[in-house]
């Protein structure tokens, strides 16, 4: 019995030793990621180096860097339903699937020559990309990144020729819809991914040169900003048969419009107490619209041309960033009094702001200062600073559970 026990033990040890010394090959198992959730994770775009930082909001730290994502000079991110995977849309037409837990690239496709953002469907099955060149929208399987659909943004020009338009303002909508605007055609299109007979596209005339768009948090209103006129276009997705209506018409009428150094971003529009706080194109103003009838209610003077106008999660504060040349500050507005309560200086060339999921802090990127500053939203004081290479967009995983983000 003792001999048998000894032989069995030695044989097991030999097997264990052999396993430990076995060279890694195609059949070797990758180490599992650390056991953790993804609810407090996020990605920060490093626009000049084609990389992203994986960050954690609980301890305000950088967990690692993922490289090889191409041209990220105008990049954005959406997330899978579980928050594990980020889909990064690059300016070079690249669509990259990043695993936040293993901090690695899962897959990457070059799907066009020039793209401007994207969205993930309500059910999480499809990722759509908005393209400048060639103009249109492509849809991919979120698991494999295999192409599912190619929707060319064709329209008839004034001379009767058929052309393709740049597409902008792509968002997801309830019912597994995608909605986007055609800059050159002055149109808004809806793409129904849940139609029984396949994908259906519906077209609506909008205004002149829609440059960006948003969808309200309840998914009802799609609103496109217009570069060619003072006003915005609104499509009520609950009543699409009514077509597109113009809201805030002529908000700049009778005023001298200044040169536009950077187009405002409508994503993250501030909506508080039944009012929408809107960046005015070519003016040093934040517009306040009554959402009951979309009339212009007020204008809040600010120190420059606003780019992002974002509400804190509790809607008590409106945070405003600005275009060049006055883009080294952020102004905070009290949504009740509509007065500026603080002017902050996060660094040179502020590009993006992102609130933590419950809004106790906000992260602000300063490209030319190579840093991200974290502010406490109650005290409006800086909490910490993180080093980053030319940071721009900041995207936390709570976006996975919000429409239009």
Mean pLDDT of 286-305: 93
In-domain check, residue 152: yes
- The β-bridge partners of 391 are 46
Mean pLDDT of 209-214: 90
In-domain check, residue 87: no
In-domain check, residue 181: yes
In-domain check, residue 26: no
In-domain check, residue 144: yes
Burial code (b: 16+ CB inside 10 Å, e: under 16) for 373-398 equals bbbebeeeeeeebbebbbbbbbbbbb
Question: CA 365, 53, 87, 354 torsion: positive or negative?
Answer: negative
What CATH number has the domain bearing residue 168? 2.130.10.10
The average confidence (pLDDT) of the chain is: 88
Least confident of 59-63, 191-195, 363-367: 191-195
In-domain check, residue 189: yes
| Residue 396 pLDDT > 80 | yes
> For the chain, how many structural domains are there in total?
1
Burial code (b: 16+ CB inside 10 Å, e: under 16) for 3-33 equals eeeeeeeeeeeeeeeeeeeeeeeeeeeeeee
Range of 171's domain? 111-262
Question: CA 41, 96, 131, 192 torsion: positive or negative?
Answer: negative
Q: Which tens digits make up the pLDDT trace of 219-228?
A: 999 999 888 7
Mean pLDDT of 314-327: 93
Q: Which tens digits make up the pLDDT trace of 8-18?
A: 444 444 444 44
In-domain check, residue 148: yes
Under a CB-based contact definition with an 8 Å cutoff, are residues 84 and 101 in contact?
yes
- The β-bridge partners of 390 are none
Residue 2 is predicted with a pLDDT of 43
Q: In what order do the strands lie in the sheet with 391-396?
A: 61-66, 51-56, 41-46, 391-396
Q: State whether residue 244 is helix, strand or coil.
A: strand
Under a CB-based contact definition with an 8 Å cutoff, are residues 117 and 92 in contact?
no
H/E run at residue 86? strand 85-89
In-domain check, residue 60: no
Under a CB-based contact definition with an 8 Å cutoff, are residues 232 and 252 in contact?
no
Q: Which tens digits make up the pLDDT trace of 265-289?
A: 777 678 887 899 988 887 899 999 9
């Amino acid at each position: 019995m003792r001999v048998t026990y000894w032989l069995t033990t030695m044989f097991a040890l030999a097997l264990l030793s052999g396993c430990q010394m076995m060279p890694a090959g195609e059949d070797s198992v990758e180490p599992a990621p650390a056991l953790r959730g993804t609810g407090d994770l996020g990605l920060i775009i490093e626009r000049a180096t084609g990389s992203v930082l994986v960050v954690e909001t609980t301890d305000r730290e950088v967990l690692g860097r993922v490289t090889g994502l191409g041209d990220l000079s105008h990049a954005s991110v959406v997330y899978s339903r579980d928050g594990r995977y980020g889909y990064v849309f690059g300016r070079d037409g690249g669509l990259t699937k990043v695993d936040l837990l293993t901090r690695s690239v899962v897959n990457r496709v070059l799907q066009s020559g020039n793209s401007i953002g994207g969205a993930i469907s309500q059910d999480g099955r499809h990722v759509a990309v908005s393209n400048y060149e060639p103009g249109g929208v492509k849809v991919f399987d979120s698991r494999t990144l295999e192409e599912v659909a190619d929707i060319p943004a064709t329209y008839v020009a004034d001379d009767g020729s058929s052309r393709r338009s740049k597409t902008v303002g792509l968002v997801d909508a309830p019912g597994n819809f995608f909605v986007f605007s055609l800059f050159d055609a002055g149109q808004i299109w809806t793409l129904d991914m849940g139609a029984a007979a396949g994908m259906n596209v519906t077209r609506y005339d909008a205004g002149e040169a829609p440059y960006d768009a948003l969808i309200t948090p309840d998914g009802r209103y799609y609103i496109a900003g217009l570069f060619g006129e003072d006003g915005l276009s609104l499509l009520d997705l609950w009543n699409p048969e009514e077509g597109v209506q113009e809201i805030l018409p002529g908000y700049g009428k009778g005023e001298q419009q200044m040169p536009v150094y950077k187009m405002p971003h409508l994503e993250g529009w501030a909506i508080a107490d039944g009012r929408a706080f809107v960046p005015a194109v070519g003016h040093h103003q934040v517009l306040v619209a009554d959402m009951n009838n979309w009339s212009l209610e007020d204008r809040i003077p600010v120190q420059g041309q606003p780019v992002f106008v974002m509400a804190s999660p509790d809607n008590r504060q409106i945070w405003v960033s600005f275009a060049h040349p006055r883009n080294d500050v952020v102004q905070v507005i009290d949504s009740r009094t509509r007065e500026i309560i603080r002017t902050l200086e996060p660094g040179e060339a502020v590009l993006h702001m992102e609130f933590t999921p419950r809004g106790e802090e906000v992260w602000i990127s300063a490209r030319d200062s190579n840093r991200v500053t974290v502010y406490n939203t109650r005290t409006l004081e800086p909490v910490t600073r993180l080093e980053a290479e030319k940071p721009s967009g900041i995207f936390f995983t709570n976006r996975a559970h919000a429409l239009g983000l």
